[in-house]
A and B are shown apart, each in its own frame.
Chain A
């Protein structure tokens, strides 16, 4: 297949880049190694749109974070992705940590972050009643928000596909050749030709760059474990609560999620294998201990799952965005660690600028549709809205996931959406079926059944997340 642009990696960065490029008259392929988008760091991070006070002024991280926060509102509105502006706190747990807060405040001001201020213990206790007793002061960042990173990614891919981009699953890039002004990518889905390649391969972006002889990108895989707590615990924190940062990152946070759960994490340790997302006892214990310092009421009794993600930490400590030295038509969007999610809309904007420069100006698509329609979310509807909806389509009257109140209609929508769900986890991330307190104990088999029926395969061909992740083997005797 021949394309103008091949984007490698369908995480949040690749997704939003593809979506922004789909505004132009280009043939675009989004190549993803896994069976779905949002399968790497995108599905396992803190889910925060950071205000932008952390990054060192003058870095790409600082610039793109602040710009990303500005753009995120429009992206979420157009893509119909819930975004909640809950604000963030960086808490000092001793007088000795207060200078840290002052340093962050100054950085934030330099970066152009609005509304930052430091509050004392009394005010902190008032706005965050469950904060630990040892807290003495906090930096408040009112522009910090929470968003669901895989929902944003899925929405971006859907919208890009609606606007003509092609999403290629299970497409691992094995080799890249360049001749006659064109790249030839050898992939697990055959040969793909493209005039421009954008490297958004996350922890594997260094490896992908090497395929064209660019050895400049060195990525350290930084592993982080998280706990997710039941929705009954979501109100333990109003703000996203950080502790003072360390050399390894922003430290352990406690935050409500946009879906009403409570997230705790991450740990931080460097590992070799970018695909190793096994949680570790040390990591999990560590984040639990740290979290109870921020919010003592956090209890593992209410944990519904634990998971981990690998962030792509660049040795240069800053995002690597721009044409490769090896080939200007090969554009890196690499080393995107925190604040990567926050910056992702701005990274996409920057890539568009670079592409405009390289091509001498791309032609806008006359019929670009910026809107990704809002998915049906039965759980958020009033009784009247629900009654009306079921009248139109009976499938919305059948509850499949009882913990999260997800209907068969929503699951069908997820499967038949552009770049729709092909496995159980894909359904889960699009609809929340299986994300509740029973973690798919009841609805898992029903989702398998629906997927098999809709995809026209037998139940034992359905996987949890593609590859060899089969859920069932043969028929019983």
Chain B
């Protein structure tokens, strides 16, 4: 058994930022367990730019953004195990992990940070009828083939879903000589960042068809084409609008799912909407000493916010390890009227610092107000030019506001049109 103060599960941007923050706060023995061959997580295959505008004030590529944190980790005495898979986290914070060099290892930890990231929703979750030939894959898998392995997974491409990875891959495949015929989006709006729609589709003349989906795949061995169709308000295909598009590749960018299998095993309670753990403002789950941050907690739009959130978790874990984490009186936050969820789900009204509540909206709003209320009183109300499901929003709750609340209070955030 190896004894550590803090075990961080996952060495992507979230895990690294949490570990570095905890180190900065004085935590001595820290280990990061990473399943890939290197630190950096999914950023390693994101060779496009656009990372770091908020955090570093510069436009970096994914590997560059990750590289800055990897360098910092290397300068510390934080232990790192790569190519190492965590198999289990026990009730008493024993983390069992395995790799082919050290074999089976057990780490006893005072605190654990869960930073496993997320996975892509596969085809099976979509119930698209048709054959199951080669050539149907998630956009992230295609990204790995192209950017890491150096192979083209196809030449004529249809992309289903306008999530950011799909948009990025539309551009990437085009630059590599493939023909991206269309990006279909089931919803009447895109789930991706506006800047990605402009830079990855518009600039290359790739059509984005909203309220449109793939209803059938064709081809026995390799994909030969797809049938697309428009959908009604209930998202059901409209008969008669079917259109056959010849293609050898269908990339799916239809949502990301936080990877919480380990969290479930250890008995961490999950939020039904985010599919991530329920946490307080320190990013501690309902299981004391277990923290969560990054895409395992909520799917982020920008890595900059992952870093920010993970530093909070790292600080929280450090306070826990040093016995500094105060108890307190926790109340719930709640998204209503267009606000799908809020992270954190609980806040301590005895806290003496300002805190941010992160949320996403369920549809596109133009010129709507974000209203924060508590016990019938409006705490803040701000008009936003545009709110979209693809972008994470936040509101600030000041220490002043918290002081006025009591144990029965509930903070709500809603959209007012």
Contacts and interface: CB of A to CB of B under 8 A. Distances in A.
A213 B14 CA distance: 68
Contact of B134 (A280, A307, A464): A464
Given A397-B98, A463-B134, A475 B129 contact: no
B271 interface: no
Nearest to B106: A383
A217 interface: no
A80 interface: no
A439 B103 CA distance: 26
B133 A469 contact: yes
Interface in B98-129: 98-104, 106, 119-120, 122-125, 127, 129
B144 interface: yes
B100 A395 contact: yes
Interface stretch (A177-185, A203-211, A310-318, A440-448): A440-448
Contacts of A473: 151-155
Contacts of B106: 383
B182 interface: no
Contacts of A403: 261
Contact of B151 (A396, A440, A472): A472
Contact of A439 (B98, B123, B154): B123
A376 interface: no
B87 interface: yes
B99 A305 contact: no
Interface stretch (A51-59, A124-132, A386-394): A386-394
Contact of B120 (A275, A398, A441, A470): A441
B149 interface: yes
Interface stretch (B215-223, B327-335, B350-358, B378-386): B215-223
B124 A439 contact: yes
A284 B124 CA distance: 12
Given A397-B98, A399-B98, A460-B151, A390 B129 contact: no
A331 interface: no
Contact of A397 (B101, B120, B135, B153): B101
B274 to A, nearest CB: 15
Contacts of A468: 221-222
A25 B19 CA distance: 65
A437 B261 CA distance: 10
B132 interface: yes
Given A398-B83, A469-B222, A477 B134 contact: no
B96 interface: yes
B397 interface: no
B121 to A, nearest CB: 9
Of listed B85, B100, B131, residue having the most chain A CB within 10 A: B100
Contacts of B151: 459-460, 472-476
Given A438-B119, A441-B138, A471-B134, A398 B144 contact: no
A233 interface: no
Interface string A195-215: 000000000000000000000
Contacts of B93: none
B82 to A, nearest CB: 11
Interface in A396-416: 396-399, 402-403, 405, 408
Interface residues of A, number: 59
Contact of A441 (B87, B119, B131, B149): B119
Given A304-B124, A438-B119, A445 B103 contact: no
Contact of A280 (B85, B129, B141): B129
Contacts of A396: 100
A355 to B, nearest CB: 35
Contact of A303 (B98, B124, B177): B124
A408 B133 contact: no
Contacts of A279: 129-131
A277 interface: yes
Contacts of B101: 394, 397
A304 B122 contact: yes
Contacts of B215: 281
Contacts of A300: 127
Nearest to A439: B122
A261 B103 CA distance: 29
Contact of B152 (A304, A405, A463, A475): A475
Contact of A438 (B102, B120, B131, B216): B120
Nearest to A385: B104
B308 to A, nearest CB: 26
B283 interface: no
Nearest to B140: A441
B54 to A, nearest CB: 28
A408 B83 CA distance: 12
Given A278-B217, A386-B104, A399-B85, A476 B176 contact: yes
A278 to B, nearest CB: 4
A303 B125 CA distance: 5
A449 interface: yes
Interface of B: 35, 83, 85, 87, 96, 98-104, 106, 119-120, 122-125, 127, 129-135, 137-138, 140-141, 144-146, 148-155, 176-177, 215-218, 220-222, 261
Interface of A: 227-228, 275-281, 283-284, 300-301, 303-307, 383, 386-387, 390-391, 394-399, 402-403, 405, 408, 437-442, 444-445, 449, 459-460, 463-477
- In order of increasing CB-CB distance, the 9 nearest A-B pairs are A305-B124, A397-B100, A439-B122, A468-B221, A399-B85, A464-B134, A472-B151, A469-B134, A278-B131
